[in-house]
Amino acid sequence: MQTSTKLSSNAKLNFAYIILVSLVAASGGLLFGFDTAIISGTIHYIRPYFQLDEYCLGWAVSCILIGCMAGAAAAGKMCDAWGRKKTLLLCGFLFAITGLGTGLADTFSVFVFFRIAGGLAVGIAAMAAPMYIAETVPASIRGRMVSLYQLAIVSGILLAYLSNYLLADTGENNWRWMFASQSFPSLLFFAAMFFVPESPRWLMKKERKKEAENILAKLGGEEYSRAETAAIEESFHHEHNEKLSDLWHPSFRPLVWMGIMVAVFQQITGINAILYYAPEIIKKTGVNNENALLQTIGIGIISFLFTFVSIWLIDKAGRKILLLAGCAAMGFSLLGVAACFHFQYFENYVVLFFLLVYIAAFSATMGCVAWVILSEIFPNRIRGLALSVSTLVLWIADFAASFAFPVLNAQLGVETALSIFAGFCALYWIYVKRVIPETKGST
């Protein structure tokens, strides 16, 4: 592997083609972000249309995560059986169909069905797209190309917020257009995937070595192709069939629990509840729905910009210090919003300021850092399975937080709901301080 890395870094890489391949695959993340965030602008309209109480509203928002769990569970086998490219093609098709189906739904049951089906695409893409990039892009620039996926997710969130605002004035069917708007970028992604190659690693695994060599040669030249082909073949000799029981071996169990806690805390500190319900929170300050949707665009822009900050800081400051800073800033900003509502200080710009600080803190720290830590704390023997379990737990925690928020808001008040999230930020700060090691520079 050392030879491969050295040759990879010295080879004449075809950067234009590598970037094209990476951007197309990373666009699966854009659809991920778009599909999960588009609901935020529709709540104001679907609640009276389907006559939803707080429990049904929580279900309408969070049911997509049931599909995410199923998609994440099935993604590995689908990628191995069909290949990474065909799996991503399926995701593009599913994103398009489910966006249209959700927009055309005339009953709540049909609406939920298509939301869950859309979640399948999200769950599959969340595993297949980074896997495709990691297996196709040369190791010397792999980290930067994989980071495009996280940027694509926040770009999708921003695009969803912008779409909601632009479509808000299209009449009584505006929420239908909001959901259906997902189909356009989905079809573009579906078409673009026909112009990128299959994963060379998957082709090698299926004994299609010549095809893999041709793709690798196009990426980095003949010398690079020979080195990478040899490295891939060598890696097959060291593969280990992971078993669920391996995770509970005494030497691995503490790391598995650590991964689970990192995944759970990323969600129960409130990020997706805030992203999904941001317009509803902002409207409580007295602004109308259109202005609330406009202000969520600011949230999307801050999320996008501060993701760059995270990418810049993560290898300079280290993982642990970023998590500690993020927990503190997120907790204090949530308490700031809660205090505004508790003392009935409904100045819109103050509440928006605290929300933007929260989003900036998450995007600059916990958003990327959690995934980096999860990729670094597990030994190779259990890494794949441990990551899958951690991701599944993350979806479950996301579902719980997203479902619970409107219920807590209705029964206890928004200030109590946000204070609970702030409390989890404090607990996470203590956990990080006492338990999480610094993984910067680890292999």
- Residue 22: give its domain's CATH number: 1.20.1250.20
Nearest to 197 by CA among 179, 171, 217: 217
Nearest to 91 by CA among 62, 119, 60: 119
312 located within any domain = yes
Task: Tell which of 203, 238, 273 closes a domain.
Answer: 238
442 located within any domain = no
- pLDDT digit string (tens) for 85-137? 999 999 999 999 999 999 999 999 999 999 999 999 999 998 888 889 888 88
**Residue found by looking up tokens 């080879």 in the block:** 11
Range name among 55-64, 248-257, 276-285 with the lowest pLDDT average: 248-257
Mean pLDDT of 330-358: 93
307 located within any domain = yes
Residue 57 tokens, joined? 């509203």
pLDDT at 9 over 60: no
Do 136 and 163 lie in a common domain? yes
Do 191 and 59 lie in a common domain? yes
Do 234 and 253 lie in a common domain? no
Domain count, the chain: 2
Which pLDDT score, from 0 to 100, does residue 48 have? 96
E strand or H helix that includes residue 390 = helix 383-412
Do 230 and 253 lie in a common domain? no
Handedness of CA 321, 326, 329, 334 (dihedral sign): negative
Which pLDDT score, from 0 to 100, does residue 415 have? 95
Do 152 and 253 lie in a common domain? no
pLDDT at 290 over 50: yes
**Residue found by looking up tokens 């959700």 in the block:** 102
Do 260 and 228 lie in a common domain? no
Which pLDDT score, from 0 to 100, does residue 381 have? 75
Range name among 22-26, 49-53, 92-96, 238-242 with the lowest pLDDT average: 238-242
443 located within any domain = no
Q: Are 157 and 303 in contact (CB under 8 A)?
A: yes
124 located within any domain = yes
> Could you give the CA distance from residue 83 to residue 13 in angstroms, rounded to a whole number?
24
Buried/exposed 159-195: b ≥16 CB within 10 Å, e otherwise: bbbbbbbbbbeeeeebbbbbbbbbbebbebbbebbee
pLDDT more than 90, % of the chain:
63
243 located within any domain = no
Which pLDDT score, from 0 to 100, does residue 6 have? 46
Q: Are 416 and 408 in contact (CB under 8 A)?
A: yes
Do 207 and 270 lie in a common domain? no
Residue 244 tokens, joined? 């669920």
212 located within any domain = yes
Task: Tell which of 192, 208, 238 closes a domain.
Answer: 238
pLDDT at 237 over 80: no
Mean pLDDT of 204-222: 92
Q: Are 364 and 326 in contact (CB under 8 A)?
A: yes
Do 55 and 189 lie in a common domain? yes
Do 148 and 119 lie in a common domain? yes
Residue 187 tokens, joined? 């079809």
pLDDT-based confidence at residue 377 (cuts at 50, 70, 90): confident
Q: Are 71 and 123 in contact (CB under 8 A)?
A: yes
Average predicted confidence (pLDDT) for the chain: 89
pLDDT-based confidence at residue 442 (cuts at 50, 70, 90): low
Range name among 27-41, 75-89, 232-246, 411-425 with the lowest pLDDT average: 232-246
pLDDT-based confidence at residue 11 (cuts at 50, 70, 90): low
> Could you give the CA distance from residue 48 to residue 33 in angstroms, rounded to a whole number?
25
Give, in degrees to the nearest 5, the angle at Cα 36 between 355 and 405.
55
Do 377 and 396 lie in a common domain? yes
Which pLDDT score, from 0 to 100, does residue 391 have? 84
Range of the structural domain that residue 134 is part of: 1-238
Task: Tell which of 187, 215, 238 closes a domain.
Answer: 238
pLDDT at 341 over 50: yes
